Structure 1
Amino acid sequence: MQDIDAISALIGQTPSSPAQTILITTHQNPDADAMGSSLGLAGYLRKKGHRVTVVTPTDYPQSLYWMSGNDEVVVFEEKIRASVSQMMAETDLIFCLDFSALDRIKDLGPMVRQSRARKVLIDHHLEPESFADAALWDPTAASTTELVFRLIVELGDKNLIDVPIAECLYAGLMTDTGSFRHSNTTGNVHRMAAELVDLKIDVSSIHRRIFDNVSLDKFRLLGYVLNEKLKVLPEYKFAYITLTDAELKQYRSKTGDTEGMVNYALSVDGVVMAAILIDRLDEIRISFRSIGNFSVRDLSSAHFNGGGHRNAAGGRSSLSLQETEQKLLSILPQYQQQLLATF
């Protein structure tokens, strides 16, 4: 679904089009693609003369605070529910970025669904929920920032992409491709990256601010995880990590500190699937990664109320951490032949 014309009509593309009040939201625990696409789109829409607010359902890592527009982001908390509800009631248009279903934005989901505002979905995850009036959806896109870039170009406004907007878009593109090493790194990805670099963005600075901005507590947590919590099951080519709430508190874990840890498990020689199971008190959150043709999205969707991409997916469990771990281990025999055949 690529409703470029419908989106153009909704945001107004003529000089006489009236300014609109626009709200942009993204998934819980936003990553660089979520925040990069949201803040990049916000910067563009403000240049078009619109009044724009970015609202996130939860907080996000401090390594993303450098993005232009971050100071104006509204992070949802229960104590501001009334003001966010009022904001929803007064907005003309809601952009939903980097998620395919409203349950991915927690308490904001019912608010968005009930809002009278027109809704636009921009996303690259599979099986999008049908709630939007218009959508720019492409599961072959490497990132949502790639789709935002495509939208701006298709609308004839490439000249409005300045350095701050370009930095936001590049951050999402870089991280969702694993610094351009994942299989979703296409020619279009490199062409987009080249166009953004040509705007004189500081590529090394973006990389440093996202990846080389690690607290001592996070390093100590990572050391503990690799030394004590990483389990490898060669008979399934599978490695996984479990983390309790107590362990997270012991190492003073902050939002984003566990981001990317599952990739260490996947990097073990001979491993083709990895997972990290984290106790977040209200639920167990699971991140899956794989290589080759083994689909962690299918596994997560079938057993853990999850979804995502073939090689990167998430899931949830209402069981205890120990029960979730046992459930995961119990289903591995179903996938053993597939896992052993994957290289």
Structure 2
Amino acid sequence: MIPVFNPTHIKELKNFLTEPRKIAITTHYKPDGDAIGSLLGLYNFLTSQKHKVKAIVPSDYPEFISFMKGNDKVINYENKPKQAEKYFREAEIIFCLDFNEQSRVEAMQHIMMDNSAIKVVIDHHIEPQIKADYVFSFPQSCATCELIYYFIYALKSDYKMKSDVAECLYTGIMTDTGSFRFSSMTADTHRIVAALMDTGMDHVKIHESVSDTFTEDRIRFLGYCLRDKMQLIHAFHASYISLSLTELDQFNHQTGDTEGIVNYPLNIKGVKMSALFTEKEDGGVKISFRSKGNFSVRDMAKKFFNGGGHHNAAGGRFDGSMDECVEHFISALNYYKAELMDADTLEN
């Protein structure tokens, strides 16, 4: 899908960026591959255009996506709040990438918004709620990195894509499409990937960095989740995995260790939706949802779990115990029973 950016907005931003500016770029709490890929992809591009750019994240992120150029320049708000606040305050323009609500940056939202900087949102989630001067929101896009690719060329049509920028954008598209297998992938996206590869970037290194750098604890943790924790609910063609803080500690859990686990039950024939429940240190339960076919986990997340996301990939939270969360999930499955059993939903 090729997005059509508002030409007036693009012209205004191009004019604003014709001279060196102080820029801050940020993304959501607990960033994933698309978040960091878009953050550093835009960071490397704008830095090459002689702007003074600061990349700021609300929290830490998985080590397996820390290989991209510029990673050593990223400022973690949780570790350096005063420095992050200073750069937001000094910024003339702030780019908010891969999130559609201010709350997605958690404790950082006030310092991100309470300043005079121009705010630009670039995102592929539905219903953007951020108060911004420019909003480029395209839910049809497979990844925010795909939008950043088009945004770069909208700003500079004669730009010659560099391998460091390409590496970042490739990483985001790859991780947000399940290595190019989700239905959100289009022929246009494959053409972008081809153009990125034409820069000479090492796609093998990217795949190895993301997928082949697990610790022994993480591999054993995955085995535990699938053997001992995965529950199948055949009546609803559904599955869930629940993880307590004690279980996470048992396997020396690090940020990113639960990444992708929610997808595994979908490999079972007949399973059309999957949920991962993870106990939070500050109370409550973090939830990840995935589905195949026509069943919308976004709707379930929004209606029952204070969340949202995409049609086949969403997230939410539950303020209560794990047992209460699972019970609430079963009630939600009952609510959607007709859809979960529908022939069209089960066609894949």
1:303 corresponds to which letter in structure 2?
Answer: F
User: Can you list the C-alpha shifts for 1:282-336, whole angstroms capped at 9, x where unaligned?
Assistant: 2311000001110000000001110110000000112122211111112211111
1:61 corresponds to which letter in structure 2?
Answer: P
State the match for 2:56 in structure 1: 55
Aligned residues: 340
CA–CA distance in structure 2, aligned partners of residues 7 and 214 of structure 1: 41
Q: Distance in 2 between matches of 1:246 and 1:289?
A: 25
Listed as ranges, the gaps of 5+ residues in structure 1 are none
Secondary structure of the 2:99 match is coil
1:149 aligns to what?
149
SS at match of 1:106: helix
Residues 70 and 12 of structure 1: is their aligned pair in 2 closer, same or farther, counting only changes over 3 Å?
farther
- Deviations, residues 16-41 of structure 1 (Å, cap 9, x unaligned): x3311111111111111000000000
**Equivalence map 1:191-206=2 (5 Å):** 191-206=191-206
Answer yes or no: is 1:104 the counterpart of 2:73: no
Task: List per-residue Cα deviations over 1:110-137 (Å, max 9, x = no partner).
Answer: 2222121110000000010141100221
Shift of 1:13: 6.4
Whichever residue aligns with residue 272 of structure 2, its letter is V
Query: What stretches of structure 1 move > 4 A for 4+ residues in a row?
Result: none
Tell me the C-alpha RMSD between the 2 structures: 1.5
For the residues of structure 2 that align with 1:53 and 1:9, how far apart are their CA atoms? 22
After superposition, the Cα gap between the structure-2 partners of 1:158 and 1:202, relative to the gap in structure 1 and judged at 3 Å, is farther
Identify if the C-alpha distance between structure 1 residues 202 and 100 changes in structure 2 by more than 3 Å, giving closer, same or farther.
Answer: same
Q: Deviations over 1:216-245 (max 9, x none)?
A: 010010011111100000000000000001
CA gap 1:6/1:319 in 2 versus in 1, 3 angstroms: same
Query: Contact (CA 8 Å) 1:146, 1:173: kept in 2 or not?
Result: yes
Q: Deviations over 1:64-101 (max 9, x none)?
A: 11100000000111x63233222221111110000000
- The TM-score with structure 1 as length reference comes to 0.96
Cα distance in 2 for residues equivalent to 1:281 and 1:103: 18
Partner of 1:89: 89
Output one character per residue of 1:178-208: Cα deviation in whole Å (capped at 9) or x when no partner.
1111100101110100111111111111111
Letter in 2 for 1:3: N
Structure 1, residues 154-196: CA drift from partner, whole Å, max 9, x if none? 2234534210110000011111111111100101110100111
Distance 1:158 1:129 in 2: 33
The answer for the alignment partner of 2:224 in structure 1 is 224
Contact 1:4-1:136 within 8 A present in 2 as well: no
Q: 2:121–2:137: 8 Å Cα contact kept in structure 1?
A: yes
Q: Is the CA contact 2:10–2:154 (under 8 Å) kept in the aligned structure 1?
A: no
CA contact (8 A) 1:2 1:138 kept: no
Structure 2 match to 1:29: 30
Change beyond 3 A, Cα 1:23–1:252: same
1:310 is matched with: 311
State the distance in 2 between where 1:330 and 1:118 align. 44
* 1:52 CA drift (Å): 0.6
State whether residues 124 and 144 of structure 2, in contact with CA within 8 Å, keep that contact through their aligned partners in structure 1. yes
Q: Cα distance 1:130–1:72, how it changes in 2: closer, same or farther (>3 A)? A: closer
d(CA) in 2 for partners of 1:118 and 1:7?
A: 14
Q: Give yes or no for the alignment of 1:264 onto 2:264.
A: yes
Contact residue 241 and residue 265 of structure 1 kept, 8 A: no
Whether contact under 8 Å (2:54, 2:87) holds in the other structure is no
Alignment of 1:201-216 (within 5 A): 201-216=201-216
Cα deviation for residue 9 of structure 1 reads 2.6
Q: What does residue 292 of structure 1 align with?
A: 293
